Structure 1
Amino acid sequence: MNEISPVGCLFPRRPRSAGRARAFVREFLAAVPDGDRFAEVGELLVSELVANAIEHARTPAGRLIEVTCAVRDGRLRIEVHDASTDRPLRRDATPSDTGGRGLLLVEALSAAWGCCPRAGGVGKYVWVLIDPQGAVGSQPHVPVSTSSR
């Protein structure tokens, strides 16, 4: 599979941005040869990461969320940037909890994921690598800090 350079899009910190981020990933993958192999997992995981940035990132009003996508080494890389320095924390949700399972999905469905400070900027980005064959044993917080930019 050819490498596809990073493409990004900005979204407001509003609940409907998770759906718009899914559409952005879908549109990006439509231009990638065999991109449909990543679509289901890519759309789900970007939705979870954007929802986390909306719900948990404590940032000043007006700050945007940036989503970038790229294909490298046969894997889809998605990054979600926000202006908060707070790292995502996995929760142990009880059966009656209506939330708290997003990072469990990220761990289960990705090949690897992590969180890094934004170089030369405010905040952090959470990245996820998606293998077209499905998860290969996710390795949370793999020490790969190079942004796809």
Structure 2
Amino acid sequence: MSDSLDRPTDPSGVDHIWLPCSRRSPGLARRRLREFLARVEGGGRFAEVGELLVSELVTNAWRHGTRTGRLIRVGFGFDADRLVIEVDDAGGGKPELGEAAADQESGRGLRLVDGLALAWGCGARPGVGKRVWAVVGPAAGEGTEEAA
């Protein structure tokens, strides 16, 4: 993991949704993220990477972390410099970066998260299960002081 925190510090604007353990859930999470970012000033700067990362984290939650009949919680937080994505599932353990063989169709999701997120991590959530989170910065050249 690129960061050792159990969770990032809380940003301001916060939203969340509960999703079923289903192959439809990544698409529902992307749509909710787009709706959330449309409501916050400058939110569009985080959309491309944010959608990719929320898809990967929710896919991991329904494939590996939550059994059928349980729910996945997806949360978003936002401030001027970052988007925080949190995905809670009822599974135990922590996600690990693996090495996927070239002919495998899966196994690269956390590598994408690790490469694109400013930071990411995993910790316990209230009750049972875990929370995996990722911090997304604005798209390159958009709204950062370094780009000015």
- TM over 0.5, yes or no? yes
Partner of 1:88: 95
C-alpha root-mean-square deviation of aligned residues, in Å? 1.4
The Cα offsets for residues 34-61 of structure 1, whole Å up to 9 and x where unpaired, read as 11100000011000000000111154x4
Partner Cα distance (2:131, 2:14) in 1? 14
Aligned CA distance change for structure 1 residues 95 and 30 (closer, same or farther; 3 Å) = same
Q: CA deviation at 1:103?
A: 0.3
Partner of 1:68: 75
Structure 2 residue identity aligned to 1:57: G
Partner Cα distance (2:92, 2:80) in 1? 29
Structure 2 residue identity aligned to 1:111: L
Structure 2 residue ranges without an equivalent (≥5): 1-10, 141-148
Compute the TM-score of the two structures, normalised by the length of structure 2: 0.83
Partner Cα distance (1:25, 1:84) in 2? 23
Q: Does 1:33 align with 2:68?
A: no
Q: Which one of 97, 107, 117 corresponds to residue 110 of structure 1?
A: 117
Partner Cα distance (1:65, 1:18) in 2? 10
Q: Does 1:56 align with 2:80?
A: no
The Cα offsets for residues 116-144 of structure 1, whole Å up to 9 and x where unpaired, read as 0013x11110000001145xxxxxxxxxx
Q: Does 1:124 align with 2:130?
A: yes
Partner Cα distance (1:70, 1:106) in 2? 17
DSSP-derived class of the 1:79 partner:
strand
Question: Bigger relative contact order, structure 1 or 2, given CA contacts below 8 A and separation 6+?
Answer: 2
Compute the TM-score of the two structures, normalised by the length of structure 1: 0.82
Q: Greater helix percent: which structure? A: 2
Equivalent residues, number: 130
Structure 1 residue ranges without an equivalent (≥5): 135-149
